């Protein structure tokens, strides 16, 4: 019997429970220059050392004397660890900021261990020399993550003036479809449409396809059976701290069709079709990238472009041969079939090109950068005198 968890080549943390943002505004704040910069560079010296899980990115371009320099620090406090992003920006008057340096470091355990006592986390950051606002520590919802990732990609592709980049993100429990309306206006991160579907992320979809219930063990330890798993397969699968016994059905003539029928059932009337996806460019992230790399549709390191129909072709092949071709995971047939149907339910035509990447200009396409910009924007907005 095999035990399968959500760890491995496609390991993903559960939806982010907590995020902490610190914004350090340096250029013209003379009164806080010494303490803030000293503390900042002490952090970056540590982060730039020979530590594991550390990345440093320096996009081309340097800051000049006519530019305002500022920093943002984002603590991504997930369930498996805390990722620390330190961004350095330069900005000329009335122009879009330029990212000139990123430092990244991952630490364990995660700050999310303190999610039930956010006040303690706030006290820690308020004791620091950085600018920390009242709302800077909070529980992050799924919609915010999707929108922040969208801001990141628009910024890194240079499209933030027109907000033309769209993206679809598939995580463990959520799937997001985020798009901006193409209008010629000054940089803004508010004019967009975003759809967040809790319960349709890849891990949640697996449980639905197996016939299980989120957060509940199978009744009387019953084995969950699916035509989307290899015939004769028996094993265990852990999801949301619950372990399930799972197995494949008996050998059938058309495993893909049986699996596709089951996927179609769970997606019926669950998502909104939109005409916009047919006519605009889309980026696809997270499990879309991981699965495409798993079956060699794209380069695992560099990413690449593919058409939506490639997922269906790969799903049919993997499902047909899963009994004779050992995959790294027994879920590959199920996962490919699911994401193929999910794209179709959103309205993506088979010949629609998707761009799959993990980095743009050597910078990770995470939500953290977009969240920094959103926070900066909130600092610049006038305060409501009635909101004390």
Q: Which residues are catalytic?
A: 145
Average model confidence (pLDDT) across the chain: 76
Which residues, given as ranges, of the chain have pLDDT below 70? 1-65, 78-80, 109-115, 142-143, 159-165, 173-174, 179-194, 326-327, 380-388
Q: Which of 297, 273, 271 is nearest to 284 (CA)?
A: 297
- Domain spans in the chain, listed from the N-terminal domain onward: 17-139+363-388, 199-357
- Which tokens go with 275? 């005409």
Residue 23, pLDDT score: 42
Q: Write out the DSSP string of 49-108.
A: SS-TTEEEE--S----TTSEEEEEEEEEE-SS-EEEEEEEEEE-TTS--EEEEEEEEEES
Residue 5, pLDDT score: 56
Residue 206, pLDDT score: 96
Burial of residue 87 (CB within 10 Å: 0-12, 13-18, 19+) is: buried
Residue 49, pLDDT score: 37
Distances (CA, A) of 315 to 201, 318, 345: 18, 5, 16
In CATH, which of 3.30.420, 1.10.10, 3.40.1000, 3.20.190 is domain 199-357?
A: 3.30.420
Residue 146, pLDDT score: 77
Residue 52, pLDDT score: 36
Q: Say if residues 170 and 288 touch (Cβ distance below 8 Å).
A: yes
């Amino acid at each position: 019997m095999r035990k399968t968890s959500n760890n491995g080549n496609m390991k993903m943390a559960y939806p982010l429970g907590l995020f902490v943002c610190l914004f350090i505004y340096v250029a013209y704040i003379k009164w806080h220059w010494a303490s803030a910069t000293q503390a900042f560079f002490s952090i970056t010296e540590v982060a730039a050392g020979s530590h594991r899980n550390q990345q440093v990115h320096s996009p081309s371009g340097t800051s000049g004397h006519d530019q305002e320099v500022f920093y943002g620090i984002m603590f991504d406090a997930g369930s498996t660890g805390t990722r620390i992003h330190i961004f350095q920006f330069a900005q000329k008057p009335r122009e879009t900021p330029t990212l000139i340096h990123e430092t990244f470091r991952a630490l364990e355990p995660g700050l999310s261990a303190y999610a039930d006592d956010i006040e303690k986390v706030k006290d820690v950051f308020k004791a620091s020399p950085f600018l920390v606002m009242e709302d800077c520590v909070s529980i992050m919802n799924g919609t915010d993550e999707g929108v922040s990732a969208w801001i990141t990609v628009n910024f890194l592709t240079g499209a933030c003036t027109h907000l033309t980049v769209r993206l679809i993100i598939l995580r463990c429990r959520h799937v997001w479809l985020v798009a901006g309306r193409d209008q010629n206006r000054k940089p803004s991160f508010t004019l967009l449409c975003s759809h967040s579907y809790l319960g349709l992320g890849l891990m949640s979809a697996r449980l639905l396809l197996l016939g299980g219930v989120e957060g509940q063990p199978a009744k009387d330890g019953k084995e969950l059976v699916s035509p989307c798993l290899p015939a004769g397969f028996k094993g265990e699968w852990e999801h949301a701290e619950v372990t399930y016994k799972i197995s494949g059905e008996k050998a059938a003539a058309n495993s893909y069709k049986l699996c596709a029928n089951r996927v179609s059932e769970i997606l019926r009337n669950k998502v909104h079709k939109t005409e916009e996806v047919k006519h605009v460019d889309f980026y696809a992230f997270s499990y879309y990238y991981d699965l495409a790399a798993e079956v060699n549709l794209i380069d695992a390191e560099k990413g690449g472009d593919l058409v939506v129909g490639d997922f269906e072709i790969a799903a049919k092949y993997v499902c047909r041969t899963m009994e004779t071709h050992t995959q790294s995971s027994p879920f590959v047939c199920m996962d490919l079939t699911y994401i193929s149907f999910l794209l179709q339910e959103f309205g993506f035509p088979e010949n629609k090109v998707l761009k799959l990447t993990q980095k743009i200009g050597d910078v990770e396409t995470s939500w953290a950068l977009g969240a920094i910009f959103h926070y900066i924007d909130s600092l610049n907005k006038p305060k409501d005198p009635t909101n004390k």
